[in-house]
Structure 1
Amino acid sequence: MDITRFGHAALLVESGPHRVLIDPGTFSRDEAFDLTDLDAIVVTHQHPDHVDPARIERLLSANPSARLLAEPQTVAALDGLGVWQAMAADVTVELGPSMTLTGVGFQHAVIHPDMPRIGNVGVLVEAAGTRLLHPGDSYATVPRDIDVLAVPLSAPWAKVSETVDFVRAVAPRIVFPIHDCTVSELAYPIYWGRVAEMGGAEQALLLGQDGTASV
């Protein structure tokens, strides 16, 4: 399995003939919206840093046969921008004999009690004997037997102690950061350093905004 970051929460996951793009949002690099030959585009929730309505049409036009999968409320929010299929928790979508996508969780993490919560469905990608979790914006659901965790590093709803505890609960073999455009370069070691040191994963990879890893 090859994983490429395109900034913030956007990931391209490739295995064999399959290519899946997750969460191409407003903080994502422009190159994410020029990708082609995608089997699926997945959106975990409707916040713009996870799906950019201004650029998504370009991506959809370049990938007319891609399956469009999104959290149910997000399907409604994207009405008129392609034909999206609702992706619910514990529902598995087969892209072929060598890759499946399974929905994980239900709701976005609490930002503030006065703010209504929206839906959030993370995605578990299984391919080539590897299980990758992209949780979207939530630490609430902890699937078993995760090999690789893309962990949200900084958000209005998160703090470092919660991030460390989530990594420990998931107990992945490999962890790398996503959702980090809100962290300055100077402060980055404070956030990632604590997670890498205290999370307990065998390997902590710092992919950066546009890094690639084979796992």
Structure 2
Amino acid sequence: MKLTKYKHACVRISKDGKELLVDPGVWAEDEAFEGVDAILVTHEHFDHLDADRVRALDVPIWTNAGVAAELGADLADRITVVEGGQSFEAAGFQISAYGNDHAIILPELGVPCQNVGYLIEDAVYHPGDSFTKPDREVHTNLVPISGPWFTLPAAVQYVREVAAQQTVGIHDALLSEIGLTMGERWIGTQGGKPYLGLKPGDSVEIN
């Protein structure tokens, strides 16, 4: 299985000739959308969902009720609504869903929207905009390293508790080159496991 990182929180997973696209936001490169077989979306914010480009693809989508409403009733025949605690198959990939809430940005605003994390093939975990932890061992944990809701102590604690075999920094489009080193310096030192600061277009094999 191969993981390819695209801009911000968008990743693509390849296995046995199938292509799974996760969180294709407005900053994702056009090539991320080419030839995909299925799409997972964690939540409705534009940096995770480019609604126009997703609508243009005639492929099945798995997501929560908030995203389904955003995409519109005309896509209902190819959208499957999921919640945390459910498992399903998408384009030959086995997926487990975790959590239902986006991380809180400001306490007075409450939970901004629904958010579902996805564990793909019991190997790669994408939490969306949350630090929701899966209930089993994870090989590759995709860890947000910036954002309005992000806090460094929470991210470090999350990485420690998940204890994945390796960590990949995502949700990073807002960071400068200097800021990107934060992931390696603080998050990459947790647990003595590798931290991969992948750039858009970089790939890594998941064994």
Length-normalised TM-score, structure 2: 0.91
CA distance in structure 1 between the aligned counterparts of 2:100 and 2:55, rounded to whole angstroms: 26
Give the aligned partner of residue 104 of structure 1.
Answer: 98
Deviations 1:102-161 (A, max 9, x none): 1111100000122242100011101xxx51100000013343211110111111111222
Give the aligned partner of residue 74 of structure 1.
Answer: 67
CA distance in structure 2 between the aligned counterparts of 1:105 and 1:12, rounded to whole angstroms: 21
Length-normalised TM-score, structure 1: 0.88
- In the TM superposition, structure 1's runs of 4+ consecutive aligned residues that sit over 6 Å from their partners are none
Structure 2: 5+ residue stretches without partners = none
Q: Is the 8 A contact 1:142 1:169 kept in 2?
A: no
CA RMSD of aligned residues (A): 1.7
Q: Is the 8 A contact 1:24 1:51 kept in 2?
A: yes
Secondary structure, in 3 states, of the residue corresponding to 2:188? helix
Q: CA deviation at 1:77?
A: 1.3
1:204 to 192, 195, 201: 195
Deviations 1:36-87 (A, max 9, x none): 1x231010000000001232233x1xxx2x3211112111111156331102
Percent sequence identity is 30
CA distance in structure 2 between the aligned counterparts of 1:165 and 1:191, rounded to whole angstroms: 13
1:55 to 53, 56, 72: 53
Give the aligned partner of residue 147 of structure 1.
Answer: 139
Structure 1: 5+ residue stretches without partners = none
Q: Is the 8 A contact 1:8 1:180 kept in 2?
A: yes
Q: CA deviation at 1:17?
A: 3.0
